[in-house]
Amino acid sequence: MALRDRRRALGPSYMERNRVTEDFSREDYTVGWICALAPELAAAAAMLDETYAPPAAFQQDLNDSNVYSYGRMGRHKVVIASLGAGMPGKVPASTTATNLLRSFPKIRFGLMVGIGGGIPAKTAEDSADDIRLGDVVVSVPHGESGGVVQYDHGKIVHEGQFVQTGSLGKPPTILLKAVQRVQAQHDIQESGIPELIGKILQDRPKMAVKYRRPDAEDRLYQAQYEHPAGTKNCSRCDARYLMQRPARDSEEPVIHYGLIGSADRVMLHGPTRDYLRTAKNIICLEMEAAGLMDNFPCLVIRGISDYADTHKSDRWHGYASIVAAGYAKELLTFVPELTREPTAVELMPPGRWINSRRK
């Protein structure tokens, strides 16, 4: 059966049934939102206030393999793209962003939104960075770093010592100013993320199964304690190696701001994870952002789904995805809709866009 016939037999999708018909052009879209995984894509789509049909007279570039979703969040028209099933990493991320900018030349900035591994603080009692599952980490400059650190990029020198080289660009100024406004707002009143998520899950009962906060206990084991081989969950893990952390007053996600570490390999090693926090001030780990920062001016937002150790599981993926998307939507309410703002292409270093188009 042909693809068109299969779609006709299945009927319209949820997004198609709720799509608002508007005659927008590709120049109307100013926010590029990139996801890596299916739960991240579903969370992003659920955050849209309206969903739209493809832009009028839009002919996708023959070299652009992205599949797009279109809609509005607040005052901003957003185009969403994902890396593709089974395609994590900085190269697919870079390719996706390059194609998006080619097809949508008026994009002002990007958002990389999804899940990441949190690096917990050594002492939770009085630490502002007591990172736990379901929290959110936002990339902001720190010291000489622009917000994202490619911690596996460097050289081997004397006696085999690894030295990190190079640095990545920082998020656009307008996003950093919006981040500051969100920080100030959260000092005055509670975040609107829990209420936003609650309404989405109430309106979409099927999503509640995967995207609500898990009932599972948030457990953090000592960095040196390895998960027993061959077991799917932590039911056989030794409770003597659990880290004792004070209970929080609320289950609402805490927002953390700092450096996000990015590399092509999944981190599943507690001691190395802790070293990256101590040595480089990294508080979250992921796999895509290093491919974006120099070619796609963006802010990286990660919901914490694991602790980057051998106890990692998928149980928190849905909730971590939707809290990250909720923060991104809240952030956009503080970004003004300007009639003339430099586009993402114009914000790149001279020659960068030309080189990326030739790849």
Question: Model confidence at 58, in pLDDT bands (50, 70, 90)?
Answer: confident
User: How far apart are the two ends of the chain, measured CA to CA in Å?
Assistant: 36
- Model confidence at 294, pLDDT cuts 50, 70, 90, reads confident
pLDDT band at 43 (very low <50, low <70, confident <90, very high): very high
| 3-state SS assignment for residue 109 | strand
**Cα–Cα distance measured from residue 141 to residue 136, given in angstroms and rounded to the nearest whole number:** 16
Overall average pLDDT of the 108-120 stretch: 97
Tell me what pLDDT residue 62 has.
85
Of 85-89, 121-125, 148-152, the poorest mean pLDDT is in: 121-125
Residues whose CB falls within 8 Å of the CB of residue 339, separated by 6 or more in sequence, listed in order: none
Place of tokens 């993402």: 344
Give the residue from 301, 306, 307, 328 showing the smallest Cα distance to 317. Answer: 306
pLDDT band at 144 (very low <50, low <70, confident <90, very high): confident
pLDDT at residue 10 in the model:
44
The single-letter DSSP state of residue 310 is T
Q: Looking at residues 122-133, what average pLDDT do you find? A: 74
**Amino acid at site 252:** E
Residues 330 and 190 sit within 8 Å (Cβ to Cβ): no
Least trusted range by pLDDT, from 77-86, 123-132, 231-240 = 123-132
Residue 176: name the closest of 298, 32, 79, 341 by CA.
298
How much is the average pLDDT of 40-65?
A: 92
CA distance 48 to 71: 6
What per-residue confidence (pLDDT) applies to 358? Answer: 45
Which residue's entry shows tokens 């963006």? 298
Cβ proximity of 49 and 71 under 8 Å: yes
Q: What is the largest CA-CA distance in the chain?
A: 65
Does the pLDDT of residue 81 top 70, yes or no?
yes
DSSP conformation letters of 221-267: B-TTPPPPTT-SSGGGS-GGGB---PPPS--SPPEEEEEEEE-SS--
Output the pLDDT for position 7: 39
pLDDT at 356: 47
Say which amino acid occupies 265.
Answer: R
Residues 6+ apart with CB under 8 A from 165: 153, 154, 155
Percent of the chain that is helix, strand, coil (3-state, to 5): 35, 20, 45
Q: Taking 80 as the threshold, does the pLDDT of residue 160 lie above it?
A: no
* Contact indicator for 304, 218 with CB cutoff of 8 Å: no
Which range among 24-33, 227-236, 268-277 shows the weakest confidence by mean pLDDT? 227-236
Residues 6+ apart with CB under 8 A from 78: 29, 31, 32, 33, 48, 70, 71, 72
User: Region 148-157: what's the mean pLDDT?
Assistant: 72
pLDDT tens, residue by residue, 1-31: 443 443 344 444 545 546 665 678 999 999 9
Question: Does the structure show a pLDDT above 50 at 185?
Answer: yes
Quick one: which H or E segment has residue 52?
A: strand 50-52
Instruction: Name the average pLDDT for the chain.
Output: 87
Q: Domains along the chain?
A: 16-224+252-345 (3.40.50.1580)
Question: Residue 113 has what DSSP assignment?
Answer: E
**0.85 surpassed by pTM:** yes
| CA dihedral sign of residues 7, 11, 17, 23 | positive
